[in-house]
Amino acid sequence: MSKSKKKAPKTLHAGDVFEGWLLEAPLGAGGNGDVWKAARPGQASQAIKILRSVSAETYERFKIETSTLERLGHLPGVIPLLEKFVPDDKSGPTPWFTMPVAIPFEQYVQGRNTFDIVEDFIALAGTIQRLHDVGMSHRDIKPANFLFYEGQLCLSDFGLVKYPNRAAITPPRRDVGAKFTMAPEMRRMAHSANGLPADVYSFAKSLWIALTDQELGFDGQYNPLSSLSLSQYLANQYTTTLDRLLEECTDSEPDRRPAMSSVIVRLQEWLAICRDFHTRNLTEWTELTRKLFPLGAPNRSTWEDVDAICLVLAEIAKIPALNHMFYPTGGGNTITAVSTAAEDGMIALHIGEKMVEILRPAKLTFESFGNDMNWSYFRLEAAQVAPSGVKGAISRERTYEALTEISPGHYVPYECWDHNEYNGEPLPDSARPASRYLSGAFVFFSTRSTYNGDGRTYDARHNKMSEAEFRAYIARHAQRD
């Protein structure tokens, strides 16, 4: 037998008595130890951690863990040490220490919504930040080491903790940390790597696991444009700034990761955006312009190619409730998708599941007024087209036709939609109500823009002004805002 090891204790079972503790149920197991729910006569149950594999390295880590927990005391966000037995000589009786019984992470996360999880992770980040403030890194951050105790997520398992002046234990070329959340430098050079940015990396990956319910995590840096994207898991939620944060936190270069203090602030900002629709809408509108104009939004930009117009309008329609479209005849609506229409050179603006507005675009113009995207808008000019020939379809102001499109490019009177019938037969599944515009201008503002917030703007004033006149009109209001 190796001189560095003693014989491991026998396998333990529920009902066994260990050093006066009645083992009630297993709570967890690692490579070197086991955790049991246990109690002494007349005492409430505690969680007892028993060192099973005793070597020079594991025993030293066990001593460091217990001394660290004693040093931290009852720091909020850390599972505290209650009792311990850690003899000086590792060849003596089996070491152990106890903690309060807490809720494991996989149980905690069940049924919790995204915002509650992020709130709890902000508090957990605050705990990690307090450790970082004194130069202490946990180095084993992963969901399995999070426990819910006294109303908050807490850190447990400080066996890999590192702090200033702590004796080196990890041999060169030995990795340290959890497989699916480990920072790359902890795989390559754990003995000399800075544990603080490594904690940030592991925290970000743990957050992704918690939000997506994907137990195995992902390799490498987070990529919001891949199948890893949070948008794939958090339906209809704003994720852009959270995407950016996870991407930075999982950078392969430790020096490029934000500090934990910055992570806390940015998570709080993300929550504030999500919980305030007004802020979220204007933020998404601003990000839309950044996506279209990555080098900076111009005062004006114009597209005349039909395919290009479709692509831009599709970006406007992509985010639910982002845009509000004002009709050339008055009123407004939200477009949910854009597609080419059956008629050559025409496009269809989708409203909800079935309704479409069909027009031939002459040009699409983006207008902005400095850094405040609240007043920026898109103006879509519809080219003049001849009527379809369907009797009685043209509106009173002769701007559009109210029709039923029973198949691509085949129009019949709108009444067919109301009665679900054409020529004595039920309408096919392909049928949809359509407004076919003969001319006119549409404008698109963000849903929470000042312009959209004023009910008087639904009078189609934009269509009563030329492109230049309407821009000047909006510019005057933007200057006064």
**pLDDT tens column, 109-162:** 999 999 999 999 999 999 999 999 999 999 999 999 999 999 999 999 998 998
Q: pTM for the whole thing?
A: 0.80
Cα–Cα distance measured from residue 183 to residue 405, given in angstroms and rounded to the nearest whole number: 57
Backbone angles phi, psi at 189, to 5 degrees: -150, 55
Judged by average pLDDT, the poorest of 15-19, 163-167, 260-264, 319-323 is: 163-167
Please tell me the distance from the alpha carbon of residue 200 to that of residue 246, in angstroms, as a whole number.
10
Domain co-membership, 154 together with 108: yes
Position 200 pLDDT exceeds 90 = yes
Please classify residue 215 by burial: count the beta carbons closer than 10 Å to its beta carbon, then call 0-12 exposed, 13-18 middle and 19+ buried.
exposed
Examine residue 128 and state whether it is found in any structural domain, yes or no. Answer: yes
Q: Residue 319 maps to which CATH number?
A: 3.40.1570
pLDDT digits 0-9 by tens, 231-281: 999 988 899 999 999 999 999 999 999 999 999 999 999 999 999 999 999
pLDDT for the residue 166: 54
Given a contact cutoff of 8 angstroms between Cβ atoms, the answer to whether 206 and 141 are in contact is yes
pLDDT in the model for residue 175: 41
Distance in angstroms (rounded) separating the CA atoms of residues 436 and 439: 9
Q: Which two tokens stand for residue 473?
A: 């009109």
User: Do 120 and 198 reside in the same domain of the chain?
Assistant: yes
377, 474 Cβ separation under 8 angstroms = yes
- What pLDDT, in 10s, does the model give residues 315-373? 999 987 899 999 999 999 999 999 999 999 999 999 998 999 999 999 999 999 988 89
Question: Which of 101, 125, 159 is at the close of a domain?
Answer: 101
- The Cα 377–Cα 363 span in angstroms is 14
Higher pLDDT, 52 or 50: 50
Q: Assign residue 93 the CATH number of its domain.
A: 3.30.200.20
Do both 226 and 340 map to the same domain?
A: no
Average pLDDT, the chain: 91
Which of the four pLDDT bands, split at 50, 70 and 90, describes residue 8? very low
377 vs 417: CA distance, rounded Å: 33
Single-letter code of the amino acid located at 28 = G
User: Which tokens is 36 given?
Assistant: 């049991």
Asked whether residue 399 is assigned to any structural domain, the reply reads: no
Task: Show which of 40, 73, 101 is a domain's final residue.
Answer: 101
Indicate if 122 and 35 belong to the same structural domain: no
pLDDT (tens digit per residue) in 432-456: 999 999 999 999 999 999 999 999 9
Burial class (CB in 10 A: 0-12, 13-18, 19+), 59: buried
Q: Does residue 167 have a pLDDT over 80?
A: no
Section 19-31 average pLDDT: 89
The verdict on 314 and 359 lying in the same domain is yes
Show the domain range for 372: 293-385+439-480
Residue 455 contacts by C-beta under 8 Å, 6 or more apart in sequence?
none
Q: Does residue 287 lie in a domain region?
A: no
Q: Flag whether 424 is in a domain.
A: no
Q: Per the structure, how many domains does the chain have? A: 3
Reported confidence tier of residue 188, pLDDT bands at 50, 70, 90? confident
